[in-house]
Amino acid sequence: MREVARGLAAAAAALLAMAGVAAAGLALLGTGGAGLTAAVVALAVGGSVDVEAMPAGGLPVALHGDLHVIPLGVSLAGAVVLGWLLLRRRDGGLLVRGAAAAVAFPVGLTAITLPAQGKLALPTGTGGPAGCLSGGSRLPLPGHLDAGFSVPAGPAVLGAIGWALVVVGACWLITRFPVVATVFRVARWPSAGLAVVCLAAAWAFGGAAAAGGVLLALPQLVWGAVLLGLGVPWTVATTGALTCVPDLGNFTPGFWASGALLLGCGIAVAVRRSGGPLRRAAVVAAVAGGGSAVLTLLSRVSVDIAVSAFGFSVPVLDARLTANPLLAFAAGAIAGFAGCLLADAISVSSRAWKR
């Protein structure tokens, strides 16, 4: 019974951590509230947000939209807290604690999604700037709009179940396989340092709003830049009347930064792991490739907007921000393999010079 209580406490602490990070990020962005914070927490486990806007004058026209995006900064905060509390005791009760947490977390998230609704402040006249619409027209929604948002409970609860099971499974892998534990141990302090540096840089150069955006979506931003540096493009595909969404396919900065990051990971693994260089390189390649593919899938963004009137619905925007996960896997695996071999070559060369 004690292990069950510990699992319940771990799930509650993870939800509190996610809510705290979401509230802090929204506050830095200049918005917030209990409903919006709950919506961000629901998005962090794979839920979605529905938005509806209607003219204040009572016209029978409405704007409907739904947003699918995972603020991985919030997701990571909850995963770290939950995993740390589940692994805090190595007395064999992990499965009991994990089972209790996997049940309690979706229940807690269900309670959080109940207040995940509210009003949104939209600017007057949402037709958009000239050139954003096909033919140069503006949307038939003049004047002030009354807008609100809500979170469908079903997708959020299913996402919470999957999220909790993934974290518990990762904890089990850490206890069963030393190589997985080594990878997480090696990555924790560099990841924390990178987060602090990125937040400080965002605050210094972009102000509080930039820091809030980084706090909510730091993993997406970092890994998106790494993939671009490795030559994996992010593309925006759009259909509908709106045509002003930019194309990111040719934006590929940070090649050397990406190589330096993966080389650093290779050096860290080479220092902490024994065995032959090819074996170490294969481990790094598998982890880097798999992590690249998973992060690419989790970093996708989709937006759907439609206008409805008199019983008819017309899609005006269907936008997708994506990258190819197979290409990301290949790029991450090759870069990780090469980085680890290069780290071993540097180590051998330095020892030869010392002789």
pLDDT digits (tens, 9 = 90+) for 107-153: 999 998 887 888 876 554 444 444 444 444 474 444 566 788 899 98
Select from 158, 176, 194 the last residue of a domain.
Answer: 176
Specify whether 256 is located in the same domain as 351: yes
Specify whether 198 is located in the same domain as 147: no
Specify whether 44 is located in the same domain as 66: yes
In a domain, 190, yes or no: yes
In a domain, 92, yes or no: yes
Does position 328 have pLDDT exceeding 70, yes or no? yes
* Span 59-71, average pLDDT: 84
CA distance 19 to 17: 5
Tokens of 325: 């996960």
Domain that holds residue 219: 186-355
pLDDT band at 285 (very low <50, low <70, confident <90, very high): confident
The backbone torsions φ and ψ at residue 312, rounded to the nearest 5 degrees and listed phi first, read -110, 150
CA distance 9 to 2: 11
Specify whether 269 is located in the same domain as 293: yes
Residue 198 contacts residue 222 (beta carbons within 8 Å) = yes
* Span 314-329, average pLDDT: 86
In a domain, 301, yes or no: yes
Tokens of 169: 């499974």
Specify whether 167 is located in the same domain as 195: no
In a domain, 227, yes or no: yes
Specify whether 18 is located in the same domain as 77: yes
Question: First and final CA of the chain: distance in angstroms?
Answer: 60
Specify whether 168 is located in the same domain as 290: no
In a domain, 181, yes or no: no
Specify whether 236 is located in the same domain as 152: no
Residue 97 confidence (pLDDT): 93
Residue 85 confidence (pLDDT): 93
pLDDT band at 263 (very low <50, low <70, confident <90, very high): low
CA distance 48 to 45: 9
- Report which of 289, 282, 320 is spatially closest to residue 227, judged by C-alpha positions: 289
Beta-bridge partner residues of 119: 148
DSSP letter, residue 115: T
Higher local confidence (pLDDT), 231 or 286:
286
Specify whether 84 is located in the same domain as 231: no
State pLDDT tens for residues 233-260.
Answer: 888 877 766 655 555 444 444 555 565 6
In a domain, 216, yes or no: yes
Higher local confidence (pLDDT), 242 or 85:
85
The neighbour count for residue 56, using CB atoms within 10 Å, is 10
CA distance 284 to 223: 17
Give the count of domains, the chain: 2
Residue 289 confidence (pLDDT): 85
Specify whether 240 is located in the same domain as 348: yes
17-31, 44-58, 112-126, 129-143 — which is least confidently predicted?
A: 129-143
Select from 149, 176, 203 the last residue of a domain.
Answer: 176
In a domain, 11, yes or no: yes
* Span 22-44, average pLDDT: 92
Residue 335 confidence (pLDDT): 78
Residue 206's H or E segment, with its range, is helix 178-229
Select from 121, 154, 176 the last residue of a domain.
Answer: 176
Specify whether 151 is located in the same domain as 285: no
CA distance 97 to 72: 24
Q: What percent of the chain has pLDDT over 90?
A: 30
In a domain, 268, yes or no: yes
Does position 201 have pLDDT exceeding 60, yes or no? yes
* Span 271-280, average pLDDT: 68
DSSP letter, residue 236: E
Specify whether 139 is located in the same domain as 240: no
